[in-house]
Chains A and B, each alone.
Chain A
């Protein structure tokens, strides 16, 4: 069974630009969650999607948004990038029952210059 696939692996952007990250969950999984990982704050929850609907959202500004498609693939968008947005963005998939173990991708390393 293929794992969680995230693209691209690395991104370099400048302040003010926007970026879109992609995540393909494990086949059959309908829930996709996004997390931000930084050395200072650790892993922080961004949002979760199930069947194209956002069910849960973390404490991030509105510049962070996401969506899920009918095939469960998900995208995350960050607009008007700031230096502090530099981080490893991780996608996790699960069946969607809630409170279940999650399977993480290798992440997208975003650097904002």
Chain B
């Protein structure tokens, strides 16, 4: 069964304290792994797409990496505005049917 597991469920960081979020997946044939950010009361906002093991993408303080079994979202020197829920999702196949993980709630305190 296609499955996405994210850890930790919640993470509290001090401003400037770097960390990583994990997304492990089990799919029959990966056709893309996506990271989204979701703020309270809003829909998910696209961050990154990764398609093959070894691929990396960066945007400001965020860096996403992909292996054959998992993906990491590295947050370097986070700021309070990075506080949000980070969602990982995969395409196992089928048009635009994303399988989402439960998300990691990140809180960054000044």
- Report which A residues bind B (CB closer than 8 A): 4, 31, 33, 35, 42-45, 48, 50, 55-56, 58, 90, 92, 94, 96, 98-107
Q: In the complex, what residues of B have CB within 8 A of residue A106's CB?
A: 41-43
Knowing A4-B43, A90-B43, A107-B43, say if A102 contacts B96 (CB, 8 Å).
yes
Central interface residue in A35, A42, A107, by most chain B CB within 10 Å: A42
Question: Which residues of B are found within 8 Å of A4, using beta-carbon distances?
Answer: 43
Q: List 9 A-B contacts (CB under 8 A).
A: A33-B96, A42-B100, A43-B89, A55-B96, A90-B43, A90-B44, A98-B95, A98-B96, A101-B49
B84 within 8 A of A: no
Top 10 nearest A-B pairs (CB, nearest first) are A104-B43, A43-B100, A99-B31, A99-B91, A55-B95, A42-B102, A48-B96, A33-B96, A56-B94, A45-B97
Chain B interface bracket (under 10, 10 to 19, 20 to 34, 35 or more): 20 to 34
A49: min CB distance to chain B, Å: 9
B-to-A contact residues, CB < 8 Å: 31-32, 34, 36, 41-46, 49, 87, 89, 91, 94-103
Q: Among the listed A31, A42, A43, A44, which residue makes an inter-chain contact with B95, where contact means beta carbons less than 8 Å apart?
A: A31
Secondary structure of the B contact surface, majority rule: loop
The smallest C-beta distance from B79 to any residue of chain A, in angstroms, reads: 23
Rounded to whole angstroms, the CA-CA distance of A103 and B56 in the bound complex is 21
Q: Which residues of B contact A92 (CB under 8 A)?
A: 43, 96
Please state if A43 and B87 are interface contacts (CB–CB under 8 Å).
Answer: yes
The answer to whether A99 and B43 touch (CB under 8 A), given A31-B95, A42-B100, A45-B97, is no
Residues of A within 8 A of B91 (CB): 99
Determine the chain A residues whose CB is within 8 A of the CB of B44 once the complex forms: 43, 90, 104
